[in-house]
Structure 1
């Protein structure tokens, strides 16, 4: 409790760990809340939770609450899961895919993800998972970073086409991206310009928390 109170004045790091896949995973008390950070950016809770919550609000909390199944690619500490369960009261099935098993161990310890009954965590590469799964989803959240970098496969047409295929009718994709260079701005613009819109609509929520841009895709039929 003392550390939590002191964190309103300055951040207090309580855990730091390197895993085989992540340079650094840190748990810190900041402004009264526990947050998970990488070396250079927020991974869960903190600014990331605000970013994804804004995207969920754009889709509509009431609409999400009625959904049956949600897929999250990139779990980290699970802040978006907490938003779904605590703020939206989503009671359907949540599947979270995370490549780093150490990240999930830490999330269970500090954020109690393993206490959420409708959550199924799959330790797998997101690209491999979307190729293998036979399930379809009402909402797919893509939130995959390696520190401040995003894997190239996320922007390849095959991956985008595949996650669109996994959407149920009237489903949504919420894609969190980070823009730190002119090249990354062009990357996002290319994806949007080349997106096939016959059966989908696509829009952006730009410059969330300065460096993030959310892309929202809706399946129309």
Structure 2
């Protein structure tokens, strides 16, 4: 409790570990709440939770409550899952895919991720999961970073097409991206051209928390 109160004055780190995938994993009290950070960016809760909440509100909480199944690619500490369950009151099935098993251990210990009854966590590669799964989803949330780097496969046409295939009719994709330079801005603009405008409605929410751009994709048919 003392650390929590003190965190309103200055962040208080309570856990730090090395990870082969994420380099550094840190749990910190900041402004009275626990956050999960990598070496250079926020991984869960804090600013990331605010960013993804903007996207979920853009889709509409009423629409999300009525959904049956949600896929989260990139779980980290599980802040977006907490928003879905605690704030939106989503009761359908959530499948979370996370490559870094060390992060899931931290999420279970400090953020009680393993106590969410309608969540199944898969430790594995998101690309392989998307390639192999036979399930379809009402909402696919993509939030995959290794520190501040986004894997190239997220922007490849094959992966995009597979994501669209796994999406149910009238379903949504919420894609969190980071733009730090002009080449990444061009990358995002090119990404948007891979969608058939008659099948998908696309909108962007730029410059959230300065560097993040959300892409919201709605499957129309």
TM-score of the pair, normalised by structure 2: 0.99
What is the aligned partner in structure 1 of residue 53 from structure 2? Answer: 53
2:213 aligned counterpart, secondary structure: strand
State the alpha-carbon separation in 1 of the partners of residues 135 and 193 from structure 2.
28
Whole-angstrom CA distance in 2 between matches of 1:135 and 1:195: 21
Q: Matched residues in 2 for 1:90 and 1:123: separation? A: 22
After TM superposition, give the deviation of residue 197 of structure 1 in Å: 1.9
Gapped regions of structure 1 (runs ≥ 5): none
Deviations 1:59-89 (A, max 9, x none): 0001101100000000000000000001100
Which consecutive residues of structure 2, in runs of 5 or more, have no partner in the other structure? none
Structure 2 CA distance, aligned partners of 1:57 and 1:166? 22
Residue aligning to 1:131: 131
Deviation at 1:41, TM superposition (A): 0.3
Q: 1:3 maps to what in 2?
A: 3
Q: Does residue 75 in structure 1 map to residue 75 in structure 2? A: yes
1:25 aligns with 2:32: no
Provide the aligned C-alpha RMSD in A. 0.6
- SS at 2:76's partner residue? coil
Inter-partner Cα distance in structure 2 for 1:81 and 1:184: 27
> For 1:15 and 1:38, how far apart are their aligned partners in 2?
12
Q: CA deviation at 1:194?
A: 3.4
- In the aligned structure 2, how far is the partner of 1:215 from the partner of 1:191? 10
In 2: Cα distance, 1:117 partner to 1:78 partner: 13
Task: Report matched runs for 1:80-95 at 5 Å.
Answer: 80-95=80-95
Distance 1:22 1:219 in 2: 33
| Number of residues of Structure 1 aligned to a counterpart in Structure 2 | 221
CA–CA distance in structure 1, aligned partners of residues 137 and 97 of structure 2: 14
User: What's the TM-score, normalizing by structure 1?
Assistant: 0.99
- DSSP 3-state at the match of 1:128: helix
Residue aligned with 2:48, SS: helix
